[in-house]
């Protein structure tokens, strides 16, 4: 169990007919309370889908009772009509649940630029609302209903020492770049907390998990991460305890996003050490993670450290100061570059494992930062050149 594992939550999923394939394509998660605390973070893309615009407004008061999510269409760049469709979705969900439309958050994912088939969406809401339940099968179906190019559903949960439970589901396999990464994420907890505590825990978690995922440097129009708190446990955990549980679940889900990246053959963990600041370390790590030359080298099982240092050197000095003669690089534990030049032979590096570890030491301070990415394969090009849903 995941999203309904915390007390006070029910969920449902249905094949509404949004996807031509007949696959599951609509999910509903409901918070039965007694609390209706909520927090969310959204894409920083200037082009934002109608569901993002709606949900930003709806969650401004720190409250929500339900989230309705669809795959098979992003409802982005659809103008006033698309926003009206989102509003109608929230109103219809609210009517089925006996709540206010302002307490319904809406998430969509899929192809940009096309309006959703609203008859299918509204019918799917009716079906889902009548089928709300608790349990592993329900959670599995809900996590599958939000998938687009994902090959597997993504779920996680954690329990704190005080007995509070955090659960979550996510979708995302491409357009993974901050902020946040292309994803829809619903996190649930039965903690008895206020909106300020929920918001603080969520922002801290996303900053070190979802914001550290950068698959292809492409930012989505629909990225949304939501945290709902029911208060059904009757437990008010320490803020630090809750934040750590939310971070654990978020980290688990973020790692699953990378592992399912479109066409990927390697998961790549880039760690930059000895930077002047954490921001400097992250800037260098992200530059390396976004380098197509580095990504294709990893795909070819080539520990080409020259491409790594070249990428590091693309970061402006005022952002990440370091001297070339202090630069060192290790790939899967083998230091192939030391003091800005060749060191151990690259033939010593074993590139066959799924996970590739790239460690860069800037010799410029004490700060560390890391980014998760993946390699660039023929399959990625094939999948994205034919993407239509």
> Annotated active-site positions, please?
182
Buried b (16+ CB within 10 A) or exposed e, 299-312: beeebbbebbbebb
Contact 110, 389 (CB under 8 A): yes
First to last CA, the chain: 28
Buried b (16+ CB within 10 A) or exposed e, 111-122: eeebebbeebbb
Which neighbouring-strand residues pair with 71? 109
The DSSP 8-state label assigned to residue 97 in this structure reads: H
The rounded radius of gyration (Å) of the Cα atoms in the chain is 22
Task: Put the strands of the sheet holding 165-171 in their side by side order.
Answer: 37-42, 224-229, 184-189, 165-171, 154-159
Calculated CA dihedral for residues 188, 191, 194, 200, nearest 10 degrees = -60
C-alpha angle 28-32-38 in degrees, rounded to nearest 5: 75
Contact 263, 382 (CB under 8 A): yes
CA 59 – CA 293 distance, rounded (Å): 41
CA 146 – CA 166 distance, rounded (Å): 19
Tell me, rounded to whole angstroms, the distance of Cα 204 from its chain centroid.
14
């Amino acid at each position: 169990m995941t999203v309904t594992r915390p007390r006070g939550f029910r969920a449902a999923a249905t094949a509404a007919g949004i996807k031509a394939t007949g696959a599951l394509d609509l999910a509903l998660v409901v918070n039965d309370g007694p609390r209706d605390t909520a927090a969310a973070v959204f894409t920083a893309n200037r082009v934002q889908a109608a569901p993002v615009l709606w949900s930003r407004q709806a969650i401004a008061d720190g409250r929500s009772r339900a989230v309705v999510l669809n795959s098979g269409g992003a409802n982005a760049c659809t103008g006033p009509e698309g926003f009206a469709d989102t509003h109608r979705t929230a109103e219809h969900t609210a009517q089925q649940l006996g709540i206010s439309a302002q307490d319904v958050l809406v998430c969509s994912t899929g192809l940009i630029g096309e309006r959703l088939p609203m008859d299918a969406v509204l019918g799917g809401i009716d079906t889902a609302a009548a089928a709300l339940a608790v349990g592993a099968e329900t959670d599995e179906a809900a996590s599958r209903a939000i998938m687009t190019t994902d090959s597997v559903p993504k779920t996680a949960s954690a329990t704190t020492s005080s007995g509070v439970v955090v659960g979550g589901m996510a979708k995302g396999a491409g357009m993974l770049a901050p902020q946040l990464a292309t994803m829809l994420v619903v996190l649930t907890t039965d903690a008895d907390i206020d909106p300020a505590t929920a918001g603080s825990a969520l922002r801290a978690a996303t900053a070190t998990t979802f914001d550290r995922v950068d698959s292809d440097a492409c930012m989505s129009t629909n990225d949304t991460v939501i945290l709902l708190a029911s208060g059904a446990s009757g437990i008010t955990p320490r803020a630090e305890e809750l934040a750590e549980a939310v971070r654990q679940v978020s980290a688990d889900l973020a790692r699953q996003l990378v592992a399912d990246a479109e066409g990927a053959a390697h998961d790549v963990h880039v760690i930059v050490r000895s930077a002047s600041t954490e921001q400097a370390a992250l800037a260098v790590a992200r530059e390396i993670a976004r380098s197509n030359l580095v990504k294709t080298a990893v795909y070819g099982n080539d520990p080409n450290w020259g491409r790594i240092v070249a990428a590091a050197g693309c970061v402006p000095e005022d952002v990440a100061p370091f001297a070339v003669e202090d630069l060192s690089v290790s790939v899967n534990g083998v230091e192939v570059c030391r003091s800005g030049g060749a060191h151990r032979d690259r033939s010593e590096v074993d590139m066959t494992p799924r996970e590739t570890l790239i460690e860069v030491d800037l010799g410029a301070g004490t700060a560390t930062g890391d980014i998760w990415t993946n390699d660039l394969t023929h399959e990625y090009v094939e999948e994205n050149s034919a993407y239509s849903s």
